[in-house]
């Protein structure tokens, strides 16, 4: 199990077992890391992940709290991670996206305008490796939406937009738990943009395939690791 996932499981177990109750404040980072046998970095990433799914509430200058006083709402948050890891249908969405999106990207390489290229360049510089996972995923969603629009095929745009929302959790989770995922995403986005700007249809198609397959294969391995 990846270190960050192990850290997440340990914090979840504290909540499920009643060591931490809804509304409780977590111990200081250094104390909690020592208690759980974790590095402070892996603990910090776990807290970020659990705050993203609203299990924890990080209050600047105050501390980190378990969010909900209502057990039902807390359990809904806890099942988010389980749903992601055990719902194989998310892989099917990635498989369909891997088929359709490279085709849309190749079409965009033929049809994209200078104005659209400029918009994509400006959009990509809004995020860096230091950006939060949420910012990176939001930027990623918009980047791919604009490329689909540039394909000029309204049906393809509609199909890809409908698929996109069902893959957000997988993309977020990869950004939180896989080393180097953020920089890899940025590098692949720029490679796709370069191919679009050069009008290289097959290069654009290939980079889009690599980009989407990377998330799909990571998620597939994560599911297999949990089942083993």
Report the pLDDT value the prediction gives residue 150, as an integer from 0 to 100: 97
Each residue of 12-49: b (16+ CB within 10 Å) or e? bebbeeeebeeeeebbeeeebbeebebeeebbebbbbb
**pTM of the complete model:** 0.63
Rounded Cα gap, residues 225 and 95, in angstroms: 20
More confident residue, 145 or 173: 145
A 10 A CB-CB count for 179 gives: 10
Query: What mean pLDDT is reported for the chain?
Result: 81
CATH architecture observed for domain 3-85: Orthogonal Bundle (1.10)
pLDDT tens column, 157-173: 888 887 776 666 667 66
Residue 127 DSSP symbol:
-
Measured between alpha carbons, how far is residue 57 from residues 28, 128, 154, 186 in Å? 14, 25, 40, 28
Which of 30-34, 75-79, 205-209 is predicted least confidently?
75-79
More confident residue, 88 or 126: 126
Domain ranges of the chain: 3-85, 87-227
Contact 180, 141 (CB under 8 A): no
Mean pLDDT for the stretch of residues 58-64: 87
pLDDT > 60? residue 1: no
Contact 216, 94 (CB under 8 A): yes
Rounded Cα gap, residues 42 and 62, in angstroms: 21
Q: Specify the CATH number of the domain 87-227.
A: 1.20.120.530
């Amino acid at each position: 199990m990846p270190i960050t996932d192990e850290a997440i499981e340990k914090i979840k177990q504290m909540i499920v077992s009643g060591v931490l109750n809804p509304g409780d404040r977590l111990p200081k980072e250094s104390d909690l890391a020592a208690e759980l046998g974790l590095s402070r970095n892996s603990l910090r990433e776990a807290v970020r992940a659990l705050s993203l799914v609203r299990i924890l509430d990080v209050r600047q200058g105050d501390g980190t709290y378990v969010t909900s006083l209502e057990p039902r709402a807390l359990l809904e948050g806890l099942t988010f991670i389980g749903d992601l890891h055990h719902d194989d249908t998310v892989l099917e969405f990635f498989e369909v996206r891997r088929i359709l999106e490279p085709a849309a990207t190749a079409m965009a390489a033929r049809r994209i305008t200078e104005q659209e290229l400029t918009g994509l360049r400006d959009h990509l510089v809004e995020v860096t490796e230091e950006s939060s996972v949420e910012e990176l995923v939001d930027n990623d969603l918009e980047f791919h939406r604009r490329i689909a629009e540039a394909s000029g095929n309204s049906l393809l745009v509609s199909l890809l937009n409908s698929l996109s929302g069902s893959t957000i959790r997988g993309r977020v989770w990869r950004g939180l738990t896989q080393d180097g995922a953020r920089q890899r995403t940025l590098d692949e986005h720029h490679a796709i943009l370069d191919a679009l700007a050069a009008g290289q249809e097959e290069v654009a198609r290939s980079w889009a395939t690599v980009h989407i397959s990377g998330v799909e294969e990571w998620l597939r391995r994560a599911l297999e690791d949990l089942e083993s």
